[in-house]
Amino acid sequence: MAILIKTDAEIQKMRRSGEALREVHEAVRPLVVAGASTMDLENAAAAKMEALKAESAFKGYHGYPAVLCTSVNSEVVHGIPSATRVLQDGDIISIDCGVIVDGFYSDCAVTYAVGSPSPTARKLLDVTQASLEAAIQQAVPGGRLFDISATVQEMCEAEGFGVVREFVGHGIGRSMHEDPQLPNFGVRGRGPRLKPGMVLAIEPMINAGAPEVKVLPDGWTTITQDGSLSAHFEHTVAITRDGPLVLTR
């Protein structure tokens, strides 16, 4: 399938979707403390979405049961919120959320430290977030898709971290997942030419150890095979004539 180009009016709508999603993340953030359960975060997100009249992009997606993915420590992505999963000092937690507003999707993930993280955890979060920011700067007209991929890979592998292969970023718009797929690894100078009106969910998923992951028997929760920590940051980014426009900031 082709990469869909959004009009300026459509990007405006996606901007509103992204703003709502940002508000959901901001409502959840204060609850990321030791003693809170991941279900507490889920409930706060669901309440905020209802107040904003933003629909969940995740709940019901292939049967996924929640509005958030809450992935703690060695969980990479798609951790399911649970009242018995209680955060502890030193944990890291990725909170991934997607909404639909006026027919347009946005998708955004942040990984937080609970209390005082280990030096390894802190570095993993900092490097992964920095790789997302550098990748966003590659989302410019005339560039190539895998410039984005290579930027993440180079920055994270330079620190000895493992780049997850099984999950990738994606185009986004009237669907959560549009073409193209956007791996977090690749060869600079290759891939489709980037054009104004493309909108991408850029989402490095980076392990402190080896890149391999496995899916638990619940069919969703994905963890690192070696038990190492994993971080995930994601923004929905429009490519405009003036450069990258982060819709979920």
Q: Which residues bind Co ion (CB under 5 A)?
A: 107, 201, 203
Rounded-to-10 torsion of CA 239, 54, 80, 228: 30
Partner touching 147 among Co ion, ligand MF3, none, CB below 5 to 8 Å by kind:
none
Q: How far is the CB of 123 from ligand MF3 (least distance, A)?
A: 24
Q: How far is the CB of 109 from Co ion (least distance, A)?
A: 7
Residue among 249, 233, 237, 182 nearest 6 (CA): 237
The smaller minimum CB distance to ligand MF3, of residues 11 and 69, is found at 69
Structure tokens of 44? 């706060």
Distance of CA 37 to the CA centre of its chain: 21
Q: How far is the CB of 132 from Co ion (least distance, A)?
A: 12
Binding mask 177-216 for ligand MF3 (x = CB under 6 A): ------------------------x---------------
The count of other CB atoms within 10 Å of the CB of residue 115 is 12
CB 179 within 8 A of CB 189: no
The smaller minimum CB distance to ligand MF3, of residues 70 and 151, is found at 70
Question: In this structure, which amino acid lies at residue 164?
Answer: V
Phi/psi for 144 (5° steps) reads -120, 150
The smaller minimum CB distance to ligand MF3, of residues 55 and 96, is found at 96
Binding site for ligand MF3 (CB under 6 A): 58, 61-62, 64, 69, 78, 96, 98, 107, 201
